[in-house]
Amino acid sequence: MTNTLGRWLKPVTSLKLTVFCLACAMVLVFVGTLDQVHIGIYEAENRYFRSWFLFWTPPDTQLRIPWFPGGYIVGTLLLVNLIAAHLARFKLSWKKAGILFLHSGLILLLIGQLFADIFIDRESQMRLHQGQTKNYSESLYHDELAIIDTSGDDSDQVISVPDSQLYKGNRIALPADSLELVVNDFYPNSALVSPSKLPRPAYPHLQIGPMADAVQLERTYKEDDRNRPAATVSLLQNGKLIDTYSLAAAFPRPINFQAAGKSYQVVLRPKRFYKSFAIQLLEFRHDRYAGTDIAKNFSSRIRLVDPSQHEDRESLIFMNNPLRYRGYTFFQAGFDNNDTTTILQVAQNPSWLVPYISCALIVFGMLLQFGMHLVSFVRHRVIP
């Protein structure tokens, strides 16, 4: 390696940078673990480990001030540090083979986790009633405002606006018939109550219908609960108002409207992930031990239909026996409605083998490196 390249790489090959990254990682793990008691595991992962910075928001302001590097910054710096150190310091030789394998495992682990977090890793649920068929799963944490073109003969066209874009005053141009969406008001979390039971003095609320109002609530971070947003939006076409609608995720009822001679629907609902195949629940079983109410087994007998792959078969999903198909894994997660509804956890992570390969490389590298040192020590020891 030339001296010029070595000088350029010297700042990022420093052992001080390695120690700094490891110290930051320890702080993130410690603080994130403590904070997850208040904000839940999912929110703690997003704030501390799936972020570039940790932010502080002063009271009664919208400012977000970065004060500490997040997991992506720490992981990226550590990754660059490892790669640069190899380029600048290590030469390919048998004596360094163990270190090469060990560091290669660490690099692969960091790259795989970053790739999975940003581009791939996605968890959702599929709730199926007895006999019901679905070709989509729903997010556990996020919602969407969907504008659905129902004028097609055999399929619908869906425009999805993520909840991150639903904030008061935002104007969103939609890619259909010159439509535009204006967010008049938005509650990240709400509860539906009867208009006659509104708290006095009245809380901020939206009228969802003649029998229900959406009352604004604080965001929840409980593991067994989720936020139910509500919004008032206006739809425009070529700058002219079509109508204004009040929507609530707790009551995901589509509202029909007409635009450009087409039939549309608008609805606020959990974010959907559509699949190229469909699953039908044939039977759900909740087996108990004889003479007790103690659960013995939960299982879902489903029918998988995928016309593009000429697939039409039945499968049984139960604890520790998921269904894996086309990069998705379906786990038995729960049930509802007096054992007539199954809840399947859906995970998509094609890089699930990367952690296993990385750990194998790290273990092999450690064994190889320590083994070579042990052999060298045994050969050169002085026997009295």
Q: Which amino acid is at 229?
A: P
Q: Is the pLDDT of residue 1 over 50?
A: no
What pLDDT was estimated at residue 384?
53
**Model pLDDT for residues 200-224, shown as the tens digit of each residue:** 666 678 888 788 889 988 888 877 7
What pLDDT was estimated at residue 29?
93
The residue segments making up the domain with residue 318 are: 123-132+275-348
For the chain, percent helix, then strand, then coil, each to nearest 5? 35, 40, 25
**Strand pairing class (262-288; 133-149):** antiparallel
Q: What's the domain count of the chain? A: 3
Q: Is the peptide bond before 307 cis (omega within 30 degrees of 0)?
A: no
φ, ψ at 380 (rounded to 5°): -100, 5
Mapped onto helix, strand or coil, the DSSP state of residue 83 is: helix
Q: What is the CA radius of gyration of the chain?
A: 27
Q: Are 285 and 167 in the same domain?
A: no
Q: What is the mean pLDDT of residues 268-279?
A: 94
Q: Are 334 and 359 in the same domain?
A: no
Band (272; pLDDT cuts 50, 70, 90): very high
What pLDDT was estimated at residue 268?
96
End position of a domain, from candidates 222, 241, 273: 273
Q: Residue 383 carries which DSSP code?
A: P
Q: Which one, of 261, 257, 229, 259, lies nearest residue 245 by Cα?
A: 257
Lowest mean pLDDT across 164-178, 334-348, 368-382: 368-382
Q: Are 262 and 193 in the same domain?
A: yes
Q: Are 269 and 366 in the same domain?
A: no
Q: Are 264 and 283 in the same domain?
A: no
What pLDDT was estimated at residue 184?
95
Q: Is the pLDDT of residue 121 over 80?
A: no
Q: Is the pLDDT of residue 269 over 60?
A: yes
Q: What is the mean pLDDT of residues 286-309?
A: 87
Q: What is the mean pLDDT of residues 288-295?
A: 79
Band (113; pLDDT cuts 50, 70, 90): confident
Q: What is the mean pLDDT of residues 27-39?
A: 90
Mapped onto helix, strand or coil, the DSSP state of residue 3 is: helix
Contact 38, 91 (CB under 8 A): no
Q: Are 293 and 204 in the same domain?
A: no
Q: Residue 352 carries which DSSP code?
A: T
Band (355; pLDDT cuts 50, 70, 90): confident
Q: Are 149 and 269 in the same domain?
A: yes
Q: Is the peptide bond before 201 cis (omega within 30 degrees of 0)?
A: yes
**Model pLDDT for residues 233-246, shown as the tens digit of each residue:** 999 999 999 999 99
Q: What is the mean pLDDT of residues 179-208?
A: 85
End position of a domain, from candidates 258, 273, 288: 273
Q: Are 320 and 225 in the same domain?
A: no
Q: Is the pLDDT of residue 83 over 90?
A: no
Q: Are 84 and 154 in the same domain?
A: no
Q: Which amino acid is at 88?
A: A
Q: What is the mean pLDDT of residues 52-78?
A: 88
Q: Which amino acid is at 219?
A: R
Q: Are 145 and 259 in the same domain?
A: yes
d(CA 121, CA 8): 35
Q: Are 100 and 160 in the same domain?
A: no
Q: Are 161 and 223 in the same domain?
A: yes
Q: Is the pLDDT of residue 5 over 60?
A: no
What pLDDT was estimated at residue 374?
83
End position of a domain, from candidates 249, 273, 297: 273
Provide the mean pLDDT of the chain: 87
- Locate 340 and state its tokens: 């007539």
Mapped onto helix, strand or coil, the DSSP state of residue 96 is: helix
Share of the chain above pLDDT 70, in %: 93
To which residue do tokens 């026996």 refer? 321
Q: Is the pLDDT of residue 311 over 90?
A: yes
Highest mean pLDDT among 93-102, 237-246, 332-341, 343-352: 237-246
- Locate 372 and state its tokens: 């070579």
Q: Which one, of 260, 257, 253, lies nearest residue 243 by Cα?
A: 257
d(CA 234, CA 183): 7
